[in-house]
């Protein structure tokens, strides 16, 4: 039973990131259909997902079409109660739903001034007072959630939940634009940057199409503040340690080199997403360590 999920550009579509995390972070099988933003691709793909008009949009295995991340989260939680999308504890679950609802509808100044861009990080973006007010509200909410649920993890309500998936795009904005938040909020942002599902999404986003001009800013740049990727690079597809792709099982046609050894993949995207962050991909790391 596999779901379909329509997404926009991985580097830029914050709502798509949120929707995809509701699958990958909770081990629910999904097949993605990508549509490039600011083209007619999204409208074309969504012709088969009536009445949806936005990404992400989910189609269930039985054919129900569900746009909007709140609806997607609730439907997945109903269909997969074992996945832990919402906390099991009633108080923690209520808190998580409060958080998700405010994130879904709020923080418009931050979203507008700092659109998600996973391909760069800046030293300073000179945030105006309205953005700073949104950041203070985030600090308040995140601190309150951990305190009221007595969370002993980096996450807001105990184990990683839909509430955290909903805040992931905001966490990336703090990282991209080097926004000023307190120490506790910084720990939470760093947990997002290191989360395996987020690392996979960002790795794909780094190689998923050309840069979108709409998101370009002329601020001074710095290195991405998340985990540093292994020094892999593209290489000639000869003398690879494997004959079949670690992801698809198909014959290798492209390769990367890492610490003097070459590893093969069935296409350029499989290779390039691995170069972007090799440690994000368990199947590759199993091959690497074999």
For the entire predicted model, the pTM comes to: 0.97
**What is the pLDDT averaged over residues 138-166?**
98
The pLDDT tens digits of the residues spanning 267-288 come to 999 999 999 999 999 999 999 9
Cα 233–Cα 237–Cα 240 angle in degrees, nearest 5: 90
Examine the domain organization and report whether 124 and 163 are in the same domain: yes
CATH assignment at residue 70:
3.40.30.10
Instruction: Kindly state the DSSP code that residue 253 receives in the 8-state scheme.
Output: -
How many angstroms separate the CA atoms of 233 and 209, rounded? 18
Examine the domain organization and report whether 120 and 192 are in the same domain: yes
Examine the domain organization and report whether 164 and 112 are in the same domain: yes
The pLDDT tens digits of the residues spanning 84-133 come to 999 999 999 999 999 999 999 999 999 999 999 999 999 999 999 999 99
Q: Is 171 helix (H, G, I), strand (E, B) or coil?
A: helix
Burial of residue 202 (number of CB atoms within 10 Å: 0-12, 13-18, 19+): buried
Alpha carbon distances (Å) from 177 to 50, 172, 187, 224: 36, 8, 16, 10
Query: Is it the case that residue 1 has pLDDT exceeding 80?
Result: no
The pLDDT tens digits of the residues spanning 222-238 come to 999 999 999 999 999 99
Task: Specify if 209 maps to a domain.
Answer: no
How many angstroms separate the CA atoms of 192 and 222, rounded? 19
Examine the domain organization and report whether 103 and 189 are in the same domain: yes
β-sheet with 57-59: strand ranges across: 30-34, 3-7, 57-59, 65-67
Examine the domain organization and report whether 174 and 101 are in the same domain: yes
How many angstroms separate the CA atoms of 200 and 197, rounded? 5
CATH assignment at residue 176:
1.20.1050
Examine the domain organization and report whether 125 and 53 are in the same domain: no
50, 65 Cβ separation under 8 angstroms: yes
Task: Specify if 40 maps to a domain.
Answer: yes
Domain of 244?
233-288
Q: Give the tokens for residue 18.
A: 């949120």
Examine the domain organization and report whether 279 and 245 are in the same domain: yes
Query: Is it the case that residue 162 has pLDDT exceeding 90?
Result: yes
Total domains in the chain come to: 3
């Amino acid at each position: 039973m596999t779901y379909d999920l329509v997404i926009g550009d991985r580097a830029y579509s914050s709502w798509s990131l949120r929707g995809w995390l509701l699958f990958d972070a909770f081990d629910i099988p999904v097949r993605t259909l990508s549509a490039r933003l600011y083209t007619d691709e999204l409208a074309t793909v969504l012709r088969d997902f009536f009445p949806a008009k936005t990404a992400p949009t989910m189609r269930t295995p039985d054919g129900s079409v569900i746009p909007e991340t709140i609806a997607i989260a609730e439907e997945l939680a109903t269909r997969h109660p074992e996945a832990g999308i919402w906390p099991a504890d009633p108080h923690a679950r209520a808190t998580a739903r409060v958080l998700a609802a405010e994130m879904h509808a709020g923080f418009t100044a931050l979203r507008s001034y700092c659109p998600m861009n996973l391909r760069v990080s800046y030293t300073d973006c000179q945030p105006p007072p309205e953005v700073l007010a949104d950041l203070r509200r985030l600090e308040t909410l995140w601190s309150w959630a951990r305190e009221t649920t007595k969370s002993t993890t980096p996450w807001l309500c105990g184990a990683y939940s839909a509430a955290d998936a909903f805040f992931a795009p905001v966490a990336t904005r703090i990282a991209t634009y080097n926004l000023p938040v307190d120490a506790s909020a910084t720990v939470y942002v760093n947990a997002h940057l290191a989360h395996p599902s987020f690392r996979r999404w960002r790795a794909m986003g780094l190689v998923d199409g050309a840069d979108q001009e709409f998101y370009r800013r002329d601020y001074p740049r710095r290195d991405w503040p998340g985990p540093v990727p292994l020094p892999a690079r593209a290489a000639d597809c000869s003398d690879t340690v494997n004959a079949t792709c670690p992801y698809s099982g198909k014959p290798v046609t492209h390769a990367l080199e890492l610490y003097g050894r070459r590893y093969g993949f069935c296409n350029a995207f499989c290779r390039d997403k691995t170069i972007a962050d090799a440690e994000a991909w368990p199947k590759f790391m199993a091959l690497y360590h074999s």
